[in-house]
Amino acid sequence: MPLSNHLKEQRAKLGVNQSEMGRLTGVSRQTISQIERGDYSPSVTLALKLAKVCGVTVEDIFSYEEDEHER
């Protein structure tokens, strides 16, 4: 998947677990877990919410890396 993220690191800096992170952003623990594992690419709204809660920019959490064969 071309979207990689540093949500786990940002969450660790914040000192909250997945459930608390979910509560802060209005989603379930499972959703936070799936995003951290790279199994789910969140909507723009959720990405912005996550960035706001972590006090960073969206680019600090998510980065898009295009695959060679996708060009």
Reading phi first (left if > 0) and then psi (alpha if -120 to 50, else beta), residue 68 is in alpha
State the angle between helix axes of 7-14 and 44-54 in degrees (0 to 180), rounded to the nearest 10: 30
- Closest to other proteins by CB, 18 or 54: 18
Q: What are the beta bridge partners of residue 64?
A: 3
Rule CB under 8 A: is residue 10 a binding residue for other proteins?
no
Selected from 19, 38, 52, 57, the binder of other proteins by CB under 8 A is: 19
Rule CB under 8 A: is residue 4 a binding residue for other proteins?
no
Q: Which residues bind other proteins (CB under 8 A)?
A: 17-19, 22-23, 26-31, 33-34, 40, 42-43, 46
